[in-house]
Structure 1
Amino acid sequence: MILSEDSKFGNYHIEESLGSGAMGEVYRATDNRLDRTVAIKLIRKELASSASYRQRLADEAKAAAKIDSANVVRVWEYSVCDGIPYIAMEYVAGRDLTGAATEFDLTDKLRISLQIAEGVMAAHSVNLIHGDLKPDNILLTDDLQVKILDLGLAKPAHHESIDEHGNIAGTLHYLAPEQLSGEAVTCASDQFSYGVLLYELLTARRPFVGDYPAAIIYSTLHEDPMAPIEIDQSIPDWLNLLVLKLLAKKPEHRFADMSEVADLLRADPYGEHMIPIRGVRTRSKTVTVIDLRNLSSDSTWDYFCEGFTDDVVSELSRRTNLVVSAQPAHDLPRDIREVFQRFRSDFIVSGSLLRGQSKIRLNLFVHGEDGHRLVSSKAYEETEDHIFDLLLKAAQETSRTLAEAAGQTPLEVGEFQKPNFTAYDYYLKGKSYYQTNTPENLDFAKRVFEKALEIDPEFALAYSGLADVYAFQYMAYYDRSEERIEEARLLALKAIEINPNFPEGHRSLGRYYQFIGDMENCEKCYLRAIKLNPKYALAYRSLAWQKYQESDYASALEWATKALRLAPTDTETILLIGVLHTYGDRYTAAMVTLVRATEISPDYGRAYYNLGLVYMKLGVLDLALENFELATKYQGDPNCCVDAGLVYLMQRKYDKAEAVLQKSIEADFFPFIAYTHLGLLERLRGHSDRSRKYFGEAIAALKDVDFSVPENVQVQAYCALAQAGSGDVTTARETLFDITSRDNLIGDVWHNIARSFALLGESEVAQECVRKALAGTPGPTEREVALDPYFADLDIKAQSDTA
């Protein structure tokens, strides 16, 4: 409802509009009963129509009226007039906090900060959380008195900030990570928002930035801010630590309450502080090393350049306190400033290798200041048999250069193992072929690793690489023989025998245990690798995947986050974090994380595939299809076509659905899913004979699957779905009974059970199964269920057991 000036609303005379927001319109008005100027907020109709929202608003307004603080705008009245809920508040003439950073000295900034802290503390004392602290909600009078707005005015709660078009709404810079992830908002969330306000007030910058909403959210979730003292060295150390503690990613790592913050701010800013600030994690400066360019005439030597880059990274990491990671050289912008923008690093190291006349020449360039400064440029040359002397000298000098540029001191470390050059050459070639993971390339990798060991029988890295080949061949069902996986164990043990302190050998042994299902020993091996090399990002990532395999998604996210700190541009780690956010129903967090993976690697098909799944869960179908198409282009996942087919079914675009589902069958990857969806498609078209034929094809494709194996329960659920669709009611019921007699079914299995009962026409049972599906992890979303074509003929409501 929009009120005009000089109009009447209940007991109030409307004088002028002060603006509008997410909750409603705000006016300056006169309370005719008390002859008092007030600010009156009229709640939007769409919010006011909810009885639960009106009750929450009334409860919070009552609590806010009890706040006794000169720094909080007082609530005078909550009532309803002409069916419109409204709140009358103290009117304050002043300006908001925007721009204050450039207008005041440190003393005044601390005075302002203390008042905000005391106001928030007063709200928390009556169990009120602001939830939307930002400059717009902080009024400042001419005499620098602070007044906090919107306390006790129930903000609309949204689990996800992505709308139906895939856009992200809201004021993002000031929201805590848990708010952006759709998790519980607590008093600690206000601390984080307050920390952003304080950071901006002290530095005139925001701690988490990005060119678009997804980038801002990713930065808030996963990146550490630059310390305020790095921007302004006049900021006292204690104040720098206070801000960083407020901005901790986890609520439990912030202060116990706002009273601790207020006590610190009351003290002499340049005196000795009695209260130590502990548990503050500061940002490590980052270095991205771009794969060395091969300047030789032999393009097949690319593998050596890539592998040698990894060793450069390893040595730079060993010799500094910087976070160092590698990135492929292909598909990079020509402008080094754009490279900085993509990787968000403090330094970029680029260079080249040239092989010729039995000599190797290495050029290394260190770039800083977002690409505006060339820190150093050096060339090194040695004969092939002295390549490790070349690596040592380059690593020492580059480490010294980077450490000095970062304001650090290089670390003193021991010598690294120097294998035979020819063996090393074979090892790097094997490593390159192994990373493709195709059956033929794995066989070739095996042969060149063996060649390396023929030349140097004490080459531990080659034993570890060969162990990884055997383990992967077993895991990927290329060779499931006991002899194959046992050989992986023996090779890993041989690497450890040669060098007991060799972290790669312990990781290889952990992979053996993981693939045979011995998770206890697997974890011990990964932890041992991490203990031997606390910077070994790959071991952290391996442990995260192990926890994922055990369905311990919270622990998996912990370990993956640790891996990301050590390798912030590792797309495999970023992908895993995105998947884990998806499994935790944190779809905004999942989306921005996966988008980050595609920024770093624009041809990363698996990231596009998982982005498609996220958008499908959110019901943003056009974006889901767009990402499935990109995933297909970049060979992201064999399921791209079958999932795109389901999306087309959701949109009732049957011809397009049929085309991509047929393409999925041609790929021969889990064809039973495509046959099942085609059966539904023909059923929806009214072609019963063709429908039964496709459902029958799905059943036939599953005839050799052992459903007694617990891991095959999801496949069995598709079998039940095909049986129900084919009209084999008795067999379908038997299969469904077998499935539902098992414990701990995930939501996705319950989803297919619900679909099966829907095809059998049993809507009440299907509805009950939908509730279980929505409550399970991983499982469908309410939007997915609402759009699900399997429920087209029934009135299935998308409600979970917890609704």
Structure 2
Amino acid sequence: MIGQTVSHYKILEHLGGGGMGVVYKAEDTKLKRTVALKFLPTELTHDSDAKQRFVQEAQAASALDHPNICTIYEINETPDGQLFIAMACYDGETLKQKIERGRLDVSDAIDIALQVCQGLMKAHEKRIVHRDIKPANIIITKDRVVKILDFGLAKLGGQSMLTKSGTTMGTGAYMSPEQVRGEGIDHRTDIWSVGIVLYEMVTGQRPFKSEYEQAVIYSILNEEPQSVISLRADMPVQLERIVRRALEKDKSKRYQGVQEILAELKQATAPGIQLPKQEKSIVVLPFENLSPDPDQEYFSDGLTEEVISDLSAVRSLRVISRSSAMTFKRTKKKIPEIAREVNVQYVLEGSVRKAGNNLRITAQLIDATNDTHVWAEKYSGTLDDVFDIQEKVSRSIVNALELKLTSDATKKIAERAIDNVTAYEYYLKAYHEIWKFTEDALNRALDYLEKGLEIIGDNAFLHSAKAFAYFGFASIGIRPEEHWKKATESAQKALTLNPDFPKALAVLGWIQYWNEHTRECLNYFKRALAADPNEYAALHGLAATYFWAGKLEAALPLSVRMIQLDPLNPLGHNLKGAIEYQIGHYEVALESFEKAYHIDPENRAIHMHYTWVLAATKQIEKAISIIDQ
């Protein structure tokens, strides 16, 4: 048809098409404007029902005058009886095309959803139900204005249903349960579809998906989708709730009007509501010990932990925790593989050579997306220079990643944990022993910490480390009451010197947790996270406390954040699995427990949880095989 003139429209190019029409770009020769012409497919020209639906689209859409609804100019017919609609032609792209490039920023998704809802509210006021809301039917102009297309499936309130028995109108993955069942349709079907579209915008995937249409339909009717927040940790909790309510299978439990979902979307963008920004991410690989003495490894490990700690103070940077980072010690894996495993963009690697009082440190920052060096430096000096070198490394990374430092982060990076080099070495040696979590190692750690305190006197870092060591005894079952008391005393000493010391607050929180003092432990964990949002022990404690208190909506995003910060630690996966299990998302829980089990198959709690969810998902034989292992 390109080049032909239909009525007073000259066909310029083919734009696309669907089940109910083929669309061309055309020039209105009378008004000298560009329009879109939608033609009923030739093969359906003699189908009276199809022609009636096509006319209905024009009548429904032309009755609407709203900036978020495609403008209809006229309906007409070619000399050979082919119907067409002339409508506005917009310079932009479909939401489908936009999503295909990757998931949207949360703020962009909310803005698009708001405009879609505003257009639908106008339609619903006129008793018009779209019934086919999907990304392909939503255009975003270059001015970021949303236009809803294709009211070809609309049902005008008061008219008879055009759908024959056994025929469903709509696109499978976006259809509501009542559409799938062929039941009565009303405006709440559009609300369901908005929920699907919003889910897809922020996650990049549909909530109900399969290669087979029947499997999609089964999921729509019988299964709960994976929670948005489990796929995207930066998702505001209020937006998770909006999606969940829009996707209620029972339409009486959904939003009862578009104005309700519109109000909650507006609330999600109200002043004071912080929408997430794209977060940069890094893993600090264990610094390689190149010292002549292999016993100097405590120093290279300690430097690794100190750099992790410094960078964790930068709130716009996600830093992988020590536990996951240390799994790559002496690894032969390539940088891109490591980055994929812990889901980060940047990798820092380096080496330490300590011989007597002489020190040489190298560090290089790599962008794992293209395996290129972003920054590299070598530092030489004496042990007395270690604090300056550590600060230079952290600041160089912040500058290379073009991050802004808050005053608190600047203070943290410049802070000297322990000014005396000998005491600092005792501190590093102590943590090297603490992480072994054996009675002998914890006793050695306490000896090192006492020696450090003898040299410099009271110090928040040393007292906090003592609290952690004492808590370690209790954690492995050695006289818990006695060691909880000693841990509390040491933590309180640390807080006397620094009231916001996160590790000391986390230890106190866990002691209160094990003694079932919920209010007190929540207070300590929240204070720790206010001081350092990446304090993993506090994050874990707060998530666990909310879980046991039955506050699953509060616990879930915290468990997701645990996994983001420490993806190779089974604790986050296990806790997330338990939360999803309690919510009733058994398939999602199974994925989490499988990951936890793969990381630590000897953990009895994980072993038990994994078999429970296997049984719940009717995988009895596999559950029995796991039990028998």
CA distance in 2, matches of 1:567, 1:126: 51
Matched, 1:194 2:189: no
| Secondary structure of 2:523 counterpart | helix
| Secondary structure of 1:283 counterpart | coil
Question: CA 1:604–1:422 in structure 2 vs 1: closer, same or farther (change >3 Å)?
Answer: farther
Matched, 1:285 2:280: yes
| Secondary structure of 1:36 counterpart | helix
Question: CA 1:276–1:508 in structure 2 vs 1: closer, same or farther (change >3 Å)?
Answer: closer
CA distance in 1, matches of 2:553, 2:96: 40
Q: Which residue does 1:730 correspond to in 2?
A: none
Q: Which residue does 1:493 correspond to in 2?
A: 492
Q: Which residue does 2:386 correspond to in 1?
A: 387
Question: CA 1:485–1:605 in structure 2 vs 1: closer, same or farther (change >3 Å)?
Answer: closer
1:88-99 map, 5 Å: none
1:483-562 map, 5 Å: 483-550=482-549, 552-561=551-560
8 A Cα contact 1:336 1:371, kept in partner: no
Which of 150, 156, 174 is the equivalent residue of 1:146?
150
Letter of the 1:503 counterpart: P
8 A Cα contact 1:129 1:190, kept in partner: no
CA distance in 2, matches of 1:622, 1:367: 45
1:259-658 map, 5 Å: 279-319=274-314, 321-326=316-321, 327-328=325-326, 329-330=328-329, 332=331, 334-368=333-367, 370-403=369-402, 408-412=403-407, 413-414=410-411, 415-419=414-418, 420-481=420-481, 483-550=482-549, 552-561=551-560, 563=562, 571-594=570-593, 609=607, 610-621=609-620, 623-624=622-623, 628=626, 644-645=627-628
Gaps of 5+ in 1: 1-17, 20-27, 41-64, 73-90, 104-109, 154-169, 175-184, 227-243, 264-273, 629-643, 646-659, 661-803
Q: Deviations over 1:333-354 (max 9, x none)?
A: 6322222222222322222222
8 A Cα contact 2:287 2:304, kept in partner: yes
CA distance in 2, matches of 1:495, 1:111: 49
**Greater alpha carbon shift after TM alignment, 590-599 vs 576-585:** 590-599
The Cα shift of 1:367 comes to 1.5
Question: CA 1:417–1:531 in structure 2 vs 1: closer, same or farther (change >3 Å)?
Answer: same
The Cα shift of 1:116 comes to 9.0
| Secondary structure of 1:280 counterpart | coil
8 A Cα contact 1:115 1:146, kept in partner: no
Which of 242, 265, 278 is the equivalent residue of 1:251?
242
CA distance in 1, matches of 2:516, 2:200: 49
8 A Cα contact 2:233 2:557, kept in partner: no
TM-score, normalised to structure 2, is 0.61
CA distance in 2, matches of 1:245, 1:148: 35
Gaps of 5+ in 2: 1-18, 21-41, 64-82, 86-92, 101-110, 140-146, 156-160, 164-171, 177-187, 217-224, 247-254, 264-268
TM-score, normalised to structure 1, is 0.49
Question: CA 1:100–1:282 in structure 2 vs 1: closer, same or farther (change >3 Å)?
Answer: closer
Matched, 1:221 2:226: no
8 A Cα contact 1:293 1:352, kept in partner: yes
| Secondary structure of 1:286 counterpart | strand
Q: Deviations over 1:492-513 (max 9, x none)?
A: 1111123233222222222333
CA distance in 2, matches of 1:123, 1:375: 54
Q: Which residue does 1:750 correspond to in 2?
A: none
Letter of the 1:540 counterpart: L
8 A Cα contact 2:135 2:197, kept in partner: no
CA distance in 2, matches of 1:616, 1:554: 25
The Cα shift of 1:388 comes to 1.0
CA distance in 1, matches of 2:364, 2:540: 29
The Cα shift of 1:372 comes to 3.2
8 A Cα contact 1:245 1:280, kept in partner: yes
CA distance in 1, matches of 2:52, 2:195: 28
Percent identity over paired residues: 20
Q: Deviations over 1:162-190 (max 9, x none)?
A: xxxxxxxx969x9xxxxxxxxxx997764
Question: CA 1:189–1:492 in structure 2 vs 1: closer, same or farther (change >3 Å)?
Answer: farther
Letter of the 2:471 counterpart: A
Question: CA 1:331–1:501 in structure 2 vs 1: closer, same or farther (change >3 Å)?
Answer: same
Question: CA 1:367–1:207 in structure 2 vs 1: closer, same or farther (change >3 Å)?
Answer: farther
| Secondary structure of 1:428 counterpart | helix
| Secondary structure of 2:278 counterpart | coil
Q: Deviations over 1:99-158 (max 9, x none)?
A: 75599xxxxxx999977974598579989997x96558889xxx99424769999xxxxx
Letter of the 2:445 counterpart: A
Aligned length in residues: 485
Q: Deviations over 1:41-60 (max 9, x none)?
A: xxxxxxxxxxxxxxxxxxxx
Question: CA 1:333–1:344 in structure 2 vs 1: closer, same or farther (change >3 Å)?
Answer: farther
8 A Cα contact 1:133 1:193, kept in partner: no
| Secondary structure of 2:401 counterpart | helix
CA distance in 1, matches of 2:197, 2:238: 9
| Secondary structure of 1:146 counterpart | coil
CA distance in 1, matches of 2:536, 2:347: 19
Matched, 1:37 2:41: no
CA distance in 2, matches of 1:611, 1:309: 34
| Secondary structure of 1:525 counterpart | helix
Letter of the 2:458 counterpart: E
Question: CA 1:128–1:568 in structure 2 vs 1: closer, same or farther (change >3 Å)?
Answer: farther
CA distance in 1, matches of 2:567, 2:429: 26
8 A Cα contact 1:400 1:410, kept in partner: no
Letter of the 1:287 counterpart: I
| Secondary structure of 2:320 counterpart | strand
Question: CA 1:354–1:122 in structure 2 vs 1: closer, same or farther (change >3 Å)?
Answer: farther
Q: Deviations over 1:733-757 (max 9, x none)?
A: xxxxxxxxxxxxxxxxxxxxxxxxx
Question: CA 1:494–1:198 in structure 2 vs 1: closer, same or farther (change >3 Å)?
Answer: closer
| Secondary structure of 2:302 counterpart | helix
Question: CA 1:478–1:260 in structure 2 vs 1: closer, same or farther (change >3 Å)?
Answer: closer
Q: Which residue does 1:784 correspond to in 2?
A: none
Higher relative contact order (CA 8 A, sep 6+): 2
CA distance in 2, matches of 1:606, 1:126: 58
The Cα shift of 1:276 comes to 8.7
CA distance in 1, matches of 2:113, 2:472: 59
Q: Which residue does 2:39 correspond to in 1?
A: none
8 A Cα contact 1:526 1:542, kept in partner: yes
The Cα shift of 1:375 comes to 0.8
The Cα shift of 1:490 comes to 1.1
Question: CA 1:350–1:591 in structure 2 vs 1: closer, same or farther (change >3 Å)?
Answer: farther
Question: CA 1:563–1:117 in structure 2 vs 1: closer, same or farther (change >3 Å)?
Answer: same
CA distance in 2, matches of 1:292, 1:126: 66
| Secondary structure of 1:370 counterpart | coil
8 A Cα contact 1:98 1:136, kept in partner: yes
1:27-176 map, 5 Å: 35-37=48-50, 69-70=60-61, 100=97, 118=119, 122=123, 134=134, 145-147=149-151
The Cα shift of 1:396 comes to 1.6
8 A Cα contact 2:283 2:344, kept in partner: yes
Question: CA 1:123–1:443 in structure 2 vs 1: closer, same or farther (change >3 Å)?
Answer: farther
CA distance in 2, matches of 1:380, 1:521: 45
Letter of the 1:286 counterpart: S
8 A Cα contact 1:612 1:624, kept in partner: yes
| Secondary structure of 2:313 counterpart | helix
8 A Cα contact 1:460 1:495, kept in partner: yes
The Cα shift of 1:416 comes to 0.8
